[in-house]
Amino acid sequence: MALPGEWVHDQVMTSDTTDADEQRDETPLQRLDRNWADLLQELRVVQTGVQLLTGFLLTLPFQARFEELTTFGISVYLTTVASSVIATGFLIAPVSLHRFLFRRHARRATVNVAHRLTQIGMAFLAGSIVGVVLLIFDFVAGQATGTTAAVIAAALLLGLWVLLPLIVRKSNADKQPGN
Instruction: Give pLDDT tens digits for 124-153.
Output: 999 999 999 999 999 999 999 999 999 999
> The domain containing residue 94 runs over which residues?
28-61+68-171
Question: Please, how many CA atoms are within 13 Å of residue 52, restricted to the half-sphere of its CB?
Answer: 7
pLDDT of res. 4:
40
Q: How far apart are CA 21 and CA 51, in angstroms?
A: 33
- More confident of the two residues 39 and 128: 128
Position 148 in a domain: yes
Position 45 in a domain: yes
Position 130 in a domain: yes
pTM for the full model? 0.81
Position 1 in a domain: no
Position 18 in a domain: no
Position 134 in a domain: yes
Mean pLDDT confidence for 170-177: 81
Tally the domains of the chain.
Answer: 1
Position 8 in a domain: no
Position 11 in a domain: no
- pLDDT higher than threshold 60 for residue 31: yes
- More confident of the two residues 19 and 133: 133
